[in-house]
A and B are shown apart, each in its own frame.
Chain A
Amino acid sequence: MERTTGTRRKLNWLLTAAAILFAALLVVLCLLLRPKTGAPDRFVIHFADGETLEIPAWETKTIVIRDGRIVDSATGEGDENVIRIENGRAWMEQANCPHHECMRQGALTAETVRSRPLGTWIVCAPHKVYIEFAGGGQ
């Protein structure tokens, strides 16, 4: 039986509303499951193989990572990321990933973690290199 225009419209509205509700539930779930951290005091660099390197937030350091390993200097070869840590700030200074999205994520500081969309993280997904601003609560 052919549906009337009114019924059809109602069905489409209901389906769209159900999809939006599903997305809203997932958003709430993510917000509830977010880890609660204490005052961030160290930067944790996560490497592709699961290894991590912790650096106190007050240190000043430039870390060059090529193909998942720390090297002395940047050459632009392989999967390379240059991370700068300075006065409680960390940012991705350089990366040769396809879209340089990690470089556009801005600096991690105690002030910006609440307003940054990625919170306490800087993510370079193509190179699987992540910087986390971790706190005492973790």
Chain B
Amino acid sequence: MRIRTLTKMALLTAAALILGYLDSLIPLVPSVPGIKLGLSNLVLLYAVFYMRPHETVLLMLLKVGLSSLLFGNAVGGLYALAGGVLSVTGMLLLKRIPNVSPIPVSTAGGILHIVGQCAVGCVLISYGPVLFYAPWLFLCGTVTGILLGVCARATFYGIERYERRRGA
């Protein structure tokens, strides 16, 4: 891995961890556990659009591993890993469509993240609470996915404009 890529990965991992921690401090619906804004997915979205697929997967694994080590536990890490693997796979596949914008990619990522978490929930708990819980998660995952996609589109537009100006 080149030094430039390594530095970028380190910076993005740190950003994802900080955003993930901020996320845990903002309970969207206090009575429903696990409903978050998913701010750290902005970093993953950046990786999906501007880095290689294997670097994106590595970033997701680093984010999941370190955040469960620092702020969570092994069970929480399992949920995050399943959600992360499914959402990154889906986002990378959607990114292959030419000229796709971050909004559908982020929306699909948010929904697939919940699908992964619900699958782990069905295995670890039982389908009973998951069936009650999942509709809230899907609703939240879709809304936050769209919002993050809009934020990412604005951010990427700014980055591309900056790069163009720097290159000119």
Q: Say which residue of B24, B126, B132, B142 sits within 8 Å of A117 (CB atoms).
A: B132
The smallest beta-carbon distance between A6 and chain B, in angstroms, is: 12
Binds A, one of B1-9, B10-18, B94-102: B94-102
Docked complex Cα distance between A26 and B72 (Å): 28
Q: Within A11-32, which residues are at the interface with B (CB < 8 Å)?
A: 11-12, 15-16, 18-20, 22-23, 26-27, 30-31
Residue of B nearest to A1 (CB): B98
Q: Say which residue of B72, B130, B139 sits within 8 Å of A98 (CB atoms).
A: B72
The smallest beta-carbon distance between A11 and chain B, in angstroms, is: 7
On whether the beta carbons of A104 and B133 are closer than 8 Å, the reply is no
Q: Say which residue of A12, A33, A99 sits within 8 Å of B24 (CB atoms).
A: A99
The answer, yes or no, to whether B38 is at the interface (CB within 8 Å) is: no
Docked complex Cα distance between A37 and B134 (Å): 18
On whether the beta carbons of B29 and A123 are closer than 8 Å, the reply is no
Interface size on B, residues (CB 8 A): 48
On whether the beta carbons of A128 and B124 are closer than 8 Å, the reply is yes
CB-CB < 8 A to A67: which residues of B?
A: none
The answer, yes or no, to whether A119 is at the interface (CB within 8 Å) is: yes
The smallest beta-carbon distance between B34 and chain A, in angstroms, is: 7
Docked complex Cα distance between A107 and B128 (Å): 18
Residue of A nearest to B102 (CB): A12
The answer, yes or no, to whether A43 is at the interface (CB within 8 Å) is: no
On whether the beta carbons of B129 and A27 are closer than 8 Å, the reply is no
Docked complex Cα distance between A35 and B130 (Å): 11
On whether the beta carbons of B129 and A12 are closer than 8 Å, the reply is no
Residue of B nearest to A2 (CB): B99
The answer, yes or no, to whether A62 is at the interface (CB within 8 Å) is: no
On whether the beta carbons of B24 and A8 are closer than 8 Å, the reply is no
CB-CB < 8 A to B73: which residues of A?
A: 97-98, 126
Beyond A8-B99, A104-B31, A117-B32, whether A19 also contacts B132 by CB under 8 A is no
The answer, yes or no, to whether B62 is at the interface (CB within 8 Å) is: no
The smallest beta-carbon distance between A53 and chain B, in angstroms, is: 15
Docked complex Cα distance between A12 and B97 (Å): 10
The smallest beta-carbon distance between A88 and chain B, in angstroms, is: 19
Docked complex Cα distance between A117 and B126 (Å): 17
CB-CB < 8 A to A20: which residues of B?
A: 107, 142
CB-CB < 8 A to A46: which residues of B?
A: 125-126
Shortest Cβ-Cβ A-B pairs, 4 listed: A101-B33, A15-B104, A119-B132, A121-B129
List chain B positions with a Cβ less than 8 A from chain A. Answer: 24, 27, 29-34, 71-73, 75-76, 79, 94, 97-101, 103-104, 107-108, 111, 114-115, 121, 124-136, 138-139, 141-142, 145-146, 149
List chain A positions with a Cβ less than 8 A from chain B. Answer: 3, 8, 11-12, 15-16, 18-20, 22-23, 26-27, 30-31, 33-35, 46, 97-99, 101-102, 104-106, 116-121, 123, 125-126, 128, 130, 132
